Amino acid sequence: NAGVTQTPKFRILKIGQSMTLQCTQDMNHNYMYWYRQDPGMGLKLIYYSVGAGITDKGEVPNGYNVSRSTTEDFPLRLELAAPSQTSVYFCASSYPQTRGDGYTFGSGTRLTVV
Amino acid sequence: KNEVEQSPQNLTAQEGEFITINCSYSVGISALHWLQQHPGGGIVSLFMLSSGKKKHGRLIATINIQEKHSSLHITASHPRDSAVYICAPNTGNQFYFGTGTSLTVIP
């Protein structure tokens, strides 16, 4: 049981480049989330999805896009990378918030924009 | 305005001590999570609570919905408990995070 798999683990981007962070879960969780964590700071929600075909903005969505075409996959797209997007990105999944044992997190993607 | 307040921000304890981390929130919630983030960065979900109390090994989490307060207790603390503990309440479509409590347990 792989849980939540994020790729890549590390990436360096130049300003203006684009990339997609991949996230896959094999637990049949309805909910999936993307968070960023800046150095020494707490988690901030970028986007979340309550099921295939449904996505919603979180606290810090600007500069990012997501899609949820299947239950398993929730990729995060960065367009026109900026130094302010240097962060560690975590993908997570869960059942609806009133059942289950909580979140399962991926291992994170450390992104540096130079 | 912070919807979630955690205390203390930093905590140093001797091995074996009983530890309490507190979380107060201002929103009506569906559930509250306690997360653990190890120095290497990985995040693990410890508990999800919507009422009452849960226990897992040496960890106990309680929540008082009326008082909008939750606590995480660690009994017989151990150096491997050293981590950042994060309180994360949510309303079902609004997700909040505390800034975390950094715990260091000294042998």
B89 touches chain A (CB under 8 A): no
B94 touches chain A (CB under 8 A): no
B47 touches chain A (CB under 8 A): yes
Residues of B in contact with A39 (CB under 8 A): none
- What is the arrangement of strands in the sheet containing B43-49, beginning at the earlier edge strand? B10-14, B101-106, B83-90, B31-37, B43-49
Shortest CA distance to B97 belongs to which of A52, A60, A54?
A: A60
Within a 13 Å sphere around the CA of B57, how many CA atoms are in the beta-carbon half?
Answer: 7
User: What are the mean pLDDT values of chain A's consecutive 10-residue runs (114 residues total)?
Assistant: 90 96 94 92 92 94 96 96 96 78 90 96
Measured between alpha carbons, how far is B24 from A2 in angstroms, rounded to an integer?
34
Give the DSSP letter of residue A63.
T
The one-digit pLDDT tens for each residue of chain B (107 residues) are 578 999 999 999 999 999 999 999 998 888 899 999 988 778 999 999 989 999 999 999 999 999 999 999 999 999 999 999 999 998 877 888 898 999 999 99
pLDDT of residue B1: 58
